[in-house]
Amino acid sequence: MTKVDLGMPRMGFFTDTTVCIGCKACEVACKEWNAVPAKPLNLTGESFDNTSGLTADSWRHVAFIEKTVPAPGDDGAKDVKWLMSSDVCKHCTHAACLDVCPTGSLFRTEFGTVVVQQDICNGCGYCVSACPYGVIDQREDDGRVFKCTMCYDRIGDGGEPACAKACPTDSIQYGELDLLRDKASRRVAELHAQGLTDARLYGQSPDDGVGGTGAFFLLLDEPETYGLPPDPVVTTRDLPGMWRRTAVAAATLLAGVAVSFAGARR
């Protein structure tokens, strides 16, 4: 499995969904800076969400979740809880997309992010099925894959990604990943002190199924509520063991063939 081994601080995103106002400024900024093609308006019926998810033409996705909850009081009345979150590629520590790419189109940058080089992508789609988050997608016209680059060109010049720059509430924060994790932990403690005990971090632990992510989130509900897998696992985790078993089987077969030939000669 691929790992992150850098000679400099790893950079990443921290998305605090508690202050997301659903303005979609991040979606617009991402499309404008990266020249991501616009799509006709699609009325999905999913509240104010008309993009539905991350695609080759939507590298940022603002989800609007309307959840029915008990209203204050004991009369059994119901209320609506609004949850909003801007989703993005997770830039995994153990990135299955890197493991399966046959052309080297996907690569790990010096910032620890994962980027696609479209000029050498052959459209095989292996990375699409390998991603445990369903992030990577192929364009319909030629099959090449596209996803968030964390604005590799901007951060390489000392700037910040367009989405973080455009976010009016600092819901999307960019910086050194270790510093962001410390900041996020303090924010969770602050929310717990305010009585928001459901606040939790998602994707920051190096012990999870992808070794931690380069884009992690502060959530106010279960991950499934936001359309995130509760226990993501790098889909290529069994490859080393499979190759070892294959090598042992091949060696055993060759040894058997050698013994057979030796016996026949006698």
Q: What is the sign of the dihedral through the CA atoms of 87, 88, 92 and 97?
A: positive
105's tokens: 């189109």
**CA angle at 171 for the pair 201 and 22, rounded to the nearest 5°:** 110
Q: Looking at 71-75, 115-119, 234-238, which range is the least confident one?
A: 234-238
Query: What local confidence, expressed as pLDDT, does residue 67 receive?
Result: 86
Model pLDDT for residues 5-19, shown as the tens digit of each residue? 666 899 999 999 999
pLDDT band at 111 (very low <50, low <70, confident <90, very high): very high
Rg (CA), the chain: 22
The answer, yes or no, to whether residue 146 has pLDDT greater than 90, is yes
pLDDT band at 256 (very low <50, low <70, confident <90, very high): low
What integer is the mean pLDDT of 69-90?
88
Top-confidence residue, 166 or 205 = 166
Q: Looking at 19-33, 42-56, 107-121, which range is the least confident one?
A: 42-56
**Is 133 among the domain residues?**
yes
**Is 30 among the domain residues?**
yes
Percentage, residues of the chain above pLDDT 70 = 86
**Is 197 among the domain residues?**
yes
Determine whether 207 is exposed, middle or buried from the number of CB atoms within 10 Å of its CB (0-12, 13-18, 19+): exposed
**Is 5 among the domain residues?**
no
User: What is the per-residue burial (b if ≥16 Cβ within 10 Å, else e) of 180-189?
Assistant: bbeebeebbe
Same-domain pairing of 202 and 91: yes
264's tokens: 């026949």
- Cα separation, 216 vs 188, whole angstroms: 13
Mean pLDDT of the chain: 88
What integer is the mean pLDDT of 70-77?
80
Same-domain pairing of 142 and 249: no
Query: What local confidence, expressed as pLDDT, does residue 217 receive?
Result: 98
User: What is the per-residue burial (b if ≥16 Cβ within 10 Å, else e) of 115-147?
Assistant: bbeeeebeebbbbbebbbbebbbbbeeeebbbb
Model pLDDT for residues 192-248, shown as the tens digit of each residue? 999 999 999 999 999 899 999 999 999 999 999 999 999 999 987 545 544 455 445
Same-domain pairing of 140 and 199: yes
Q: What is the DSSP string of 94-105?
A: S-HHHHH-SSS-
H/E element, 63: strand 61-70
**CA angle at 33 for the pair 53 and 202, rounded to the nearest 5°:** 40
User: Looking at residue 175, which CATH number applies to its domain?
Assistant: 3.30.70.20
- Cα separation, 96 vs 99, whole angstroms: 5
Query: What local confidence, expressed as pLDDT, does residue 243 receive?
Result: 40
Q: How many domains does the chain have?
A: 2
In the block, tokens 């998305």 appear at 15
- Cα separation, 18 vs 86, whole angstroms: 11
Q: Do the beta carbons of residue 235 and residue 229 sit within 8 Å? A: no
Q: Looking at 4-18, 65-79, 165-179, 193-207, which range is the least confident one?
A: 65-79
Domain that holds residue 81: 11-235
- Cα separation, 30 vs 24, whole angstroms: 10
Top-confidence residue, 246 or 65 = 65
**Is 170 among the domain residues?**
yes
Q: Do the beta carbons of residue 217 and residue 122 sit within 8 Å? A: no
What integer is the mean pLDDT of 149-164?
97
Q: How many CB atoms lie within 10 A of CB 235?
A: 18
Query: What local confidence, expressed as pLDDT, does residue 242 receive?
Result: 44
Q: How long a stretch of residues is the chain?
A: 266
Same-domain pairing of 220 and 260: no
DSSP state of 225: G
